[in-house]
Amino acid sequence: MDGLDEKIPDWVNLPLGTEPVSLWCSVHDASLLSASSDLLARTLTLHFDTYYLRSFHNLGEGITFSILLKGVQSVRAFRWSVWPGNFPLPPAKQWEEHQTKMAEFRKLWRQESESWETFQSSVNGDEDAEITEGEVVSGDGISTIRLGVQMGTGEWYEVFVRAEGLAILRSDQQEIALSEFLSLGHAYWKAFDNRSKKNEA
């Protein structure tokens, strides 16, 4: 079949020299409000609220964001089954130690395939769905986004969407460049780090 050897920018086989761009600074701890897809229009919209960006930058009451993917080629959802054994974790306030042990714990989890319809229904029916991390990789007119999502019920998902285009929209219909969206997050976390250092001094 034609195209089988084509190196598409996707986490399955990243083209040589392609580097993922982290979205963490602007999507970490964001509330994933909804996920909606349109097969006919070949679009997917992920609507989320990053409360600290809105507050820190005085963006206006109720301003939220959406990732709009156009010309969607692939959607995949994987659910993580948490290892049921005993694995004590240190208190969350012991941040670095907690993160290290949590990373070790996650290595014991199992990734299981999930239908996109099930994932989308779960997001739309869960008021506490949260984005934990994200990355995007682009090349040759294709963008693939990867997101970590934790449901309010405790389930963890990893999702991948590959599309011909990606746009960031504010809820007031203003489109902003990905670089501008990320700069909002970088500014917030820089200020956060500075405040933390002052408190430790």
Contacts of 85 (CB under 8 A, 6+ apart): 108
Mean pLDDT, to the nearest integer, of 57-63? 93
Residue 32 has pLDDT above 80, yes or no: yes
**Per-residue confidence (pLDDT) for residue 87, from 0 to 100:** 85
pLDDT: which is higher, 91 or 3: 91
Mean pLDDT, to the nearest integer, of 186-199? 84
**Per-residue confidence (pLDDT) for residue 12, from 0 to 100:** 63
Residue 167 has pLDDT above 90, yes or no: yes
As a whole-number percent, the residues of the chain with pLDDT over 90 amount to 63
Q: pLDDT, tens digit, for every residue of 64-74?
A: 999 999 999 99
- H or E element: which one contains 137? strand 130-139
**pLDDT, the chain, mean:** 88
**Per-residue confidence (pLDDT) for residue 38, from 0 to 100:** 96
Residue 13 has pLDDT above 70, yes or no: no
**Per-residue confidence (pLDDT) for residue 126, from 0 to 100:** 93
Q: pLDDT, tens digit, for every residue of 127-162?
A: 999 999 999 998 888 899 999 999 998 899 999 999
* Assessment of whether the complete model's pTM goes beyond 0.95: no
**Which sign does the torsion angle of CA 4, 146, 100, 114 carry?**
negative
